[in-house]
Amino acid sequence: MAEQTIRVQLSETKKEKPKSDQLIFGRAFTDHMFVMDYSDPLGWHNASIVPYQPLSIDPSAMVFHYGQSVFEGLKAFRTKDGDIQLFRPRKNFERLNLSNDRLCIPPVDEAFALKAIKKLVSIDKEWVPDAEGTSLYIRPFIISTEPYLGVAPASHYKFIVILSPVGAYYKEGINPIKIAVENHYVRTVKGGTGEAKTGGNYAASLKAQELVSKDGFAQVLWLDGVEKKYIEEVGSMNVFFKINGEVVTPELNGSILAGVTRDSVIELLRHWNIPVSERRISMEELREAYLDGTLEEAFGSGTAAVISPIGQLTWEGKDMVINEGKTGEISQKVYDTITGIQYGTSEDPFGWVEEVEAKTTVK
Ligand SMILES: *Cc1c(COP(=O)(O)O)cnc(C)c1O
């Protein structure tokens, strides 16, 4: 594919930026967005950065009816020198194309998408907040826009990237959460769309989430969709357990989303020579470990919070309080290291961060 140029139309007005202590996840958006169209037989074309604005889409656009869409989520961080860096962005575009493949959406050029994001962030660089723990959330997504009510892969799509400044996930250090193990609803099954980042998986998860939130649970822990025995993941996070000195996380079995944070946690643990295994783990095994005192820590991993320690798991009406409901040593160490690399205060031996060219020429 010949390299496209990115047309830029700058906004004539600048929105007021929210104060860094008033940032709510996903509520405020920056001055610009990236948009690119797909149509047969042209392929992806019309790459442009334009003022942030509503879209005009036909009501019969296929995405509204059959949910053919995928998304990604990553962040840009402001270092103390004022530079802006991304955390493992190539992993997100690799994953976007895996999701695309599952949803029959044409692939995007990963290098070009990364270039587009860097350019967009660079244009809206004043929106990357600098208060501790804040960042700029990047949301790339693709929707099918062909006006047609037939059930088939569409021939028209839009690839869009929007940016949202987000606050510190934890205001006073990382805080353990309460999780309910879901025994009735399932998120996905092997052979389904669980390993793709697609909106439908979230639509399917809302009911269980709503029911448990009434009882004060932050999220549900999903079990496998067939036997409801094996642990899969938590809401929008992958999950880890430290049992008798070994860290265990469910293997990528086809119904679990392959988190970039999950991958980073595994690499870090290996780097520190802490035993870590990706394998099948059942609730029964977890309960036994809890009862014999070898369940030492539990935590979720994802871009939004990086690490969420799990202080309590409730299964079949019984509570398991883990590590006295406090943040475990490994959870804290992994959190400190990953955030340190993201904000440039820790060394990055893995080459995980990528600088955004702040001096991108705006054509
Ligand atoms: C995005 C997501 C995650 C976490 O992935 P990261 O790349 O670490 O942010 C985990 N589970 C689901 C279902 C997700 O959609």
Q: What is the pLDDT of residues 219-256, one digit of tens each?
A: 999 999 999 999 999 989 999 999 999 999 999 999 99
E strand residue ranges, 254-357: 276-278, 295-302, 306-315, 318-321, 353-355
> Is 303 a pocket residue for ligand 1 (Cβ < 6 Å)?
yes
Per-residue confidence (pLDDT) for residue 1, from 0 to 100:
52
pLDDT at 135 over 90: yes
Q: What is the pLDDT of residues 42-66, one digit of tens each?
A: 999 999 999 999 999 999 999 999 9
Per-residue confidence (pLDDT) for residue 244, from 0 to 100:
97
Ligand 1, atom nearest to 303 Cα: 9
Residue nearest to atom 5 of ligand 1 (CA): 259
Q: Are residues 202 and 129 in the same domain?
A: no
Q: What does the DSSP 8-state code read for residue 218?
A: S
Ligand 1, atom nearest to 194 Cα: 13
> Is 73 a pocket residue for ligand 1 (Cβ < 6 Å)?
yes
Region 1-23 average pLDDT: 89
Q: Are residues 150 and 266 in the same domain?
A: no
Per-residue confidence (pLDDT) for residue 360, from 0 to 100:
43
The CATH number of residue 270's host domain is: 3.20.10.10
Q: Are residues 50 and 95 in the same domain?
A: yes
Which of 94, 238, 268 for mutating ligand 1's site (highest number of atoms within 8 Å of CB)? 238
The CATH number of residue 13's host domain is: 3.30.470.10
Q: Which residues contact 171 (CB under 8 A, 6 or more apart)?
A: none
Q: What is the pLDDT of residues 319-354, one digit of tens each?
A: 999 999 999 999 999 999 999 999 999 999 999 999
- Quickly list DSSP for 109-130: -HHHHHHHHHHHHHHTGGGS--
Region 289-312 average pLDDT: 97
- Weakest mean pLDDT among 112-126, 145-159, 348-362: 348-362
Residue at 357 is within a domain:
no
Distance CA 319, CA 324 (A): 12
Residue at 263 is within a domain:
yes
Biggest distance spanned by C-alpha atoms of the chain:
64
Q: Are residues 227 and 142 in the same domain?
A: no
Ligand 1 centroid from CA 238, angstroms = 7
Ligand 1 centroid from CA 293, angstroms = 30
> Is 260 a pocket residue for ligand 1 (Cβ < 6 Å)?
yes
Residue at 98 is within a domain:
yes
Q: Are residues 31 and 159 in the same domain?
A: yes
Domain boundary among 120, 139, 167: 167
> Is 233 a pocket residue for ligand 1 (Cβ < 6 Å)?
yes
Q: What is the pLDDT of residues 156-190, one digit of tens each?
A: 999 999 999 999 877 666 889 999 999 999 999 99
pLDDT at 208 over 90: yes
pTM, two decimal places: 0.96
First and final CA of the chain: distance in angstroms?
A: 22
Nearest Cα to 145, choosing from 133, 153, 137?
A: 153
Q: Are residues 207 and 132 in the same domain?
A: no
Considering its fold, how many domains does the chain have in total? 2
Q: Are residues 220 and 162 in the same domain?
A: no
pLDDT above 90 as % of the chain: 92
Dihedral pair phi/psi, residue 103, rounded to 5°: -95, 10
Q: Are residues 155 and 198 in the same domain?
A: no
Q: Are residues 113 and 58 in the same domain?
A: yes
Q: Are residues 190 and 336 in the same domain?
A: yes
Confidence category of residue 275, pLDDT binned at 50, 70, 90: very high
Region 200-213 average pLDDT: 95
The whole domain housing 225 covers: 177-342
Q: Please state, rounded to an integer, the average pLDDT across all residues of the chain.
A: 95
Q: Are residues 204 and 147 in the same domain?
A: no
Q: Are residues 146 and 238 in the same domain?
A: no
